[in-house]
Amino acid sequence: MNAQRRRIFVFTGGLALATVLAGALSVPSLERHYLRQQAEQDGPLLELAKESLSAALDRYAPLPALIAERASLADLLAAPRDAALLAAVNEDLRQTALMVQASDVFLMDISGRTIAAATYREPGSFIDRNFSHQSYFMNAREGALTSFQVSGTTTGERGYYYAAPVEDGDRIVGVLAVKFNIQAFNSVWNGAGSEFMVSDANGFVLMSSRPDWHFRAMRPLTDATRRVIAQNLQYPIDRIELLPITKVALDDTAQLVSFAETSGESFVMTSTALPQRGWVMTSLTPTGPARLMALKLLLILGLTGLLLFGALLSYLLKQARQREALVREQGAKRLLEATVDERTADLQKALEHLKSTQTDLIQAGKLTGLGQMSAALSHEFNQPLAAVKTYADNARAFLKRDRIAEAQDNITRISKMVDRMASISAHLRNFARRPQQAAGPLLLNQVVQDALAVFDVRLATTGGRIAYTPPAGEIWVIGGHVRLQQVIVNMLNNALDAMEGQDDQVVSLRVEGHRITVRDNGPGIDPAALGQLFDPFFTTKPPGKGLGLGLSISYNIVTDFGGTMTAANHPDGGAIFVVTLQPAQDVRTAAE
């Protein structure tokens, strides 16, 4: 009996030892399996972070082109010694930088010298510095919209630059650049359980969730790379340090990496390319959870072996021993399941946080647009409502005098004004975005007559007169009847407002070819305000006299028709506004 027990103990002991050895030998394979599994789970998160970063960068890409359209920039480039104009442009750029939260907005002449900047008050301003060597300047000077990452060799601040050409007619006369601190884009991976970094084609870390990795080289610099960096002044080459990283391939898409500076801490590294910028975004997830999973599985296997050993021993000792071992096995399994559920819940929370952030940004944009639309609606309905009130008062007076025909005429005019207000509300989105309503051929003569009919209400109330010079024949243009009529009424209103308080208030209205000209005999427009005249909410009127939306809305309507709208001071005094429309064939179906 003892010999048999010895044989059983020897067999079970050998089996247990073999299990332990097999488990120990399988640890590396198990670890690699779970590390690869972790890399697969990191893929969707990495793509989401990549799309979020691309969206954050693309959101600011149109800014330099929009700012470069300001006429004051081309004027300053043409007259860089104009102190008053320089001061106005510097302050305008400073206000723009504050509004878009940019580090700097600066204007360079065609040679690359900075002549105006948002930071003109600060000691580290770019003014008088030459950036002709920078690729974003060279590309923009050739007419391209560019973006470019640079470490900030002037300020030491890691920046991302957008640039666009400044044009005077068909000539490029300078470059407008906008700089953003790269740190502002790091928020795309806030709340993620992994570390992230973005590197350029040279292997330099541009952005990272860990500040100690910023601007470190992931591989040694070649002589050719050093020469390119020194030529472009893109990075302060004397401060570049090598990031001590060791890589071991897990599969075709993932690597196991460790950093000498992190005391042996290792990560699962997966990468994806941002080909439009020549960047690579990398996700680094700590290997601790994957290795913990491998150890837990090994523990389960070891426990299974112990259970087998216990089962054989229980044949000789106690059957109750087997039940105890089974209880331990179930406890270990529940622990494993609870750990897996916890990790899954953490991952789901991170994804929900990212989705919530995106939803909040979209809602904020909607609320901003709603505010602008409400202000525009209030402005655009003032004139028709005033006309409706006047017609209603006239109709009441006519009814009291039994002048039924005149009362009916006024009621008909009220109905037309209501229809016009409905049409105006349908077209209000011209202010913020290019509208989708189709424009077509219409008779310009009729549009002008309708606008004058509406404007007669104000003339009867406030005085003044319109000196209208009609065209000799019918003129057909591309546009919409109601929207073009609103443009003419806005120009007439502004002209009459400019002459408030004068004895002789005469507005000159001429239609010559496809051009509408409105001139007043007021004091004219401040030259400093000409460049902003068509900007939303910009007004030269006293507080309470206007929202600064009429000219902006009119400008967008005319642009939608494919035409142009300009403003200037007449040599003989007063201001002159000119609307030039696209010609159309002589047809009898007009667009509304």
Distance CA 5, CA 10 (A): 8
pLDDT confidence tier of residue 363, bands split at 50, 70 and 90: very low
Please give the pLDDT value at position 430: 38
What is the distance, to the nearest Å, from the Cα of residue 373 to the centroid of all Cα atoms in its chain?
A: 20
Q: Which residue has the higher pLDDT, 250 or 137?
A: 137
Provide CB contacts within 8 A for 471, sequence distance 6+. Answer: 444, 445, 511, 512, 513
Could you write out the three-class secondary structure of 356-421? HHHHHHHHHHHHHHHHHHHHHHHHHHHHHHHHHHHHHHHHHHHHHCCCHHHHHHHHHHHHHHHHHH
Q: What angle do CA 566, 569, 570 make, to 5 degrees?
A: 110
pLDDT at position 306 is 73
Q: Give pLDDT, residue 135.
A: 82
What's the rounded Cα separation, in Å, for the pair 58 and 586?
Answer: 44
**Cα separation, 356 vs 458, whole angstroms:** 51
* Neighbour order of strands in the sheet with 159-168: 114-117, 104-109, 171-181, 159-168, 146-150
Q: Which of 245-259, 339-353, 460-474, 543-557 has the highest mean pLDDT?
A: 460-474
Percent of the chain residues past pLDDT 90, beyond the cut: 24
* pTM for the predicted model, two decimal places: 0.42
Q: What is the per-residue pLDDT for 199?
A: 77
What is the mean predicted confidence (pLDDT) over 265-280? 80
- Please name the residues in contact with 452: beta carbons below 8 A apart, sequence gap of 6 or more: 466, 468, 509
Find out whether 164 and 176 touch, Cβ atoms under 8 Å: yes
- The secondary element (H helix, E strand) that includes residue 168 is strand 159-168
CB 144 within 8 A of CB 163: no
Give the closest residue to 522 by CA, choosing from 498, 554, 496: 498
Q: Whole-angstrom Cα distance, residue 156 to residue 384?
A: 57
Helix H or strand E encompassing 256: strand 254-259
- With tokens 């806005």, the residue in question is 490
Residue 368 confidence (pLDDT) = 43
pLDDT tens by residue, 304-340:
767 766 776 677 667 778 877 887 888 888 888 888 8
417, 485 Cβ separation under 8 angstroms: no
DSSP SS3 for 506: strand
Query: Which of 236, 291, 301, 227 lies closest to 258, judged by CA?
Result: 291
How far is Cα 106 from Cα 116, in angstroms, rounded to an integer? 6
Q: Are 96 and 116 in contact (CB under 8 A)?
A: no
Tokens read off for 184: 């502002």
Query: In sequence order, what E strands does 470-562 have?
Result: 476-479, 506-512, 515-519
pLDDT at 233: 57
> 23 φ, ψ to 5°?
-65, -45
Residue 71: the pLDDT is: 93
Q: Tell me: the pLDDT tens digits for 380-407?
A: 567 678 788 888 988 899 899 999 999 8
